[in-house]
Amino acid sequence: MKKQDFNEGLLGFLDASPTPFHATKNMTMMLENAGFERLYEEQKWELIHGKKYFVTRNDSSVIAFTYSKNKNYTMVGCHTDSPNLKLKPNAVIKEYGVVKFGVESYGGLLLNPWFDRDLSLAGRVSYLDSQNKLQTTLIDVKKPIAIVPSLAIHLDDKANKDRTINKQTDISPILTTNEDFDFKEFISWQLEKNDIRDAKEIYASELSFYDTQKASFVGLRDDFIASARLDNLLSCYVGLLSICSVEADTPMLLVASDHEEVGSESTSGAGGSFLENVLRRVYKDYDDYMAMIRTSILISADNAHAIHPNFSSKHDKEHSPYINKGTVIKVNANQRYASNSITISKFMDVASKVNEPYQQFVTRSDMGCGSTIGPITATRLGIETLDVGLPTYAMHSIRELCGSDDAHSLYKIILGFCE
């Protein structure tokens, strides 16, 4: 696939995926179009060699795999979730002439950029239908319905010096001046847009705010891509297009997990049992299972910090990734990243063969290092793992920035792994 087509598809995927639920739904639609068959965890599996399958958990994580006779799988791991403002159960607050929503911050949110943005709301809703059955659906309001206004500088003369943000009191988005606003009516109206008119009771929802500004190319030569949720839908998209591009007899697996931003410990997170459960059903014989685990490699793809031109001292000078200079191999002596010399060498070898660049990242020794799904999956399964990521600025902002060359380059390297 050509880079321009690849990137345009990426922008569409980013815009259509405001929550992990929507990302998962979009990924499953693309997998179905590419000939993957859906499996259900609660049913019996009769797998046939040379076919391609996928399975979801919690509507927010997905595993796709080819069922090859060869056991040396190339696995790509990524995560579907991103930091955001999430609605509290009793969200509605009416005061000072406006209706606003109480929110929790999900993950390590960079809060400042959330002010003065045209926000919309999306997520999952559970309701009781007219047959007294519990049903679930996804909603996406799409239009800007809320905003978190900044406090004017005249009322806060320290705003540019030492402004702090209180997560309980300072970041409630405001919705309307109509104090008759009713939350259940609002949700019913959203359900009607999905042609659901028989919701008797709306019990619970998981709804997140998102920026309505679309993903776009930025820069004199379209050098950059600016978007919400690049961490980590960028890697999801690379993994998805890679697995959709390989033949059915090529051993490849994609695992896109929820809840990475909050530590991965959930049924659908990388710390949960999802991947292991799936693999044990594919390889029922324990020796076969272990042979597959020990001959496979997991490429854990999660964005990396490019050196910021205005804050260069935050990086180790010798390990400072640049935008548009290739995939970043992440190393950490304390195993915050799972890369080792063997998995790194394999990656470098494949990248060299397909003529794509790579860079190396080590966090400054006097700074803490983040972690990701790589070490968690390596620990759970005992699979040799490599942590990589695409260089980005503004990680966990409401609008992040990556290069327009790098994602397509990683896609080519992953396809090189599968050859």
For the bound state, the minimum distance from the C-beta of residue 18 to Zn ion, rounded and expressed in Å, comes to: 17
Q: Which is nearer to Zn ion, 390 or 418 (CB)?
A: 390
Smallest distance from Zn ion to CB 231, Å = 4
Nearest distance from C-beta of residue 135 to Zn ion, angstroms: 32
Span of 121-129, 142-150, 228-236, 360-368 interacting with Zn ion by CB under 5 A: 228-236
Stretch that binds Zn ion, among 7-15, 91-99, 124-132, 229-237 (CB under 5 A): 229-237
CB of 109 to Zn ion, least distance (A): 13
In the complex with Zn ion, the residue whose CB is nearer, 148 or 234, is 234
**Piece of the chain touching Zn ion by CB under 5 A; list 205-213, 302-310, 320-328, 401-409:** 302-310
* Contact with Zn ion (CB under 5 A) among 231, 258, 356, 406: 231
State the minimum distance, in angstroms, from the CB of residue 352 to Zn ion: 27
* Window of 15-23, 173-181, 298-306, 356-364 that interacts with Zn ion by CB under 5 A: 298-306
Give the Cα separation of 148 and 166 in Å (integer): 13
400 binds Zn ion (CB under 5 A): no
Our CB check for Zn ion shows the closer of 76 and 187 to be 76
> Which residue in the set 302, 384, 387, 406 belongs to the binding site for Zn ion (CB under 5 A)?
302
Q: State the nearest-atom distance from the C-beta of 77 to Zn ion, in Å.
A: 11
Where does this chain touch Zn ion (CB under 5 A) — which range of 203-211, 231-239, 248-256, 280-288?
231-239
Of 77 and 416, which CB lies nearer to Zn ion in the complex structure?
77
Nearest distance from residue 272's CB to Zn ion, in Å? 17
Three-state secondary structure string covering the chain? CCHHHHHHHHHHHHHHCCCHHHHHHHHHHHHHHCCCEECCCCCCCCCCCCCEEEEEECCCEEEEEECCCCCCCEEEEEECCCCEEEEEEEEEEEECCEEEEEEEEECCCCCHHHCCCCEEEEEEEEEECCCCCEEEEEEECCCCCEECCCCCHHHCCCHHHHCCCCCCCCCCCEEECCCCCCHHHHHHHHHHHCCCCCCCEEEEEEEEEEECCCCEEECCCCCEEEECCHHHHHHHHHHHHHHHHCCCCCCEEEEEECCHHHCCCCCCCCCCCHHHHHHHHHCCCHHHHHHHHHHCEEEEECCEECCCCCCHHHCCHHHCCCCCCCEEEECCCCCCCCCCHHHHHHHHHHHHHCCCCEEEECCCCCCCCCCCHHHHHHHHHCCEEEEEECEEECCCCCCEEEECCHHHHHHHHHHHHCC
Of 60, 68, 232, 327, the one binding Zn ion (CB under 5 A) is 232
The 57-86 contact track toward Zn ion, x by CB under 5 A, reads ------------------------------
Which of residues 59 and 231 has its CB atom nearest to Zn ion in the complex? 231
| Interacting residues with Zn ion (CB under 5 A) | 231-232, 302
